[in-house]
Amino acid sequence: MWYMIVGEDVPDSLSKRLAARPDHVARLQALQNEGRLLLAGPNPTIDSADPGAAGFSGSLIIAEFACLEEAKAWATSDPYLDAGVYASIMVKPFKKTFPA
């Protein structure tokens, strides 16, 4: 089943985010290589694809896991959480409807 993982950043997280990004992206790449990643990306703090120094306010990942517990375990092992980028993480089941 698909699960959405929403990470909410701490204020002024950009430097922490940049430092932990290679490890974070490596985990996403592994999901993609396994065919389990639907989408992933950050939420710019401002209305811009490249927010520069304004940074990001969080991230959204939608990926496939066997169960909610597995999705939560994966999310709580995220390097962004360990590095202090995320203040919180929410994991919920997700039903993909569109595009079909």
Domain layout of the chain by residue ranges: 2-94
Strand order in the sheet with 86-94: 37-44, 56-64, 2-9, 86-94
Kindly state the tokens that stand for 34. Answer: 């396994």
Tens place of pLDDT per residue across the chain (100 aa): 999 999 999 999 999 999 999 999 999 999 999 999 999 999 999 999 999 999 999 999 999 999 999 999 999 999 999 999 999 999 999 999 999 8
In this predicted structure, what is the pLDDT of residue 52?
95
**Whole-angstrom Cα distance, residue 56 to residue 35?**
27
| Residues 6 or more apart whose Cβ sits within 8 Å of residue 95 | 2
**pTM score:** 0.95
Alpha-helical runs (H) found in the chain: 14-33, 68-75, 79-82
In this predicted structure, what is the pLDDT of residue 100?
86
Q: Per CATH, which fold does 2-94 belong to?
A: Alpha-Beta Plaits (3.30.70)
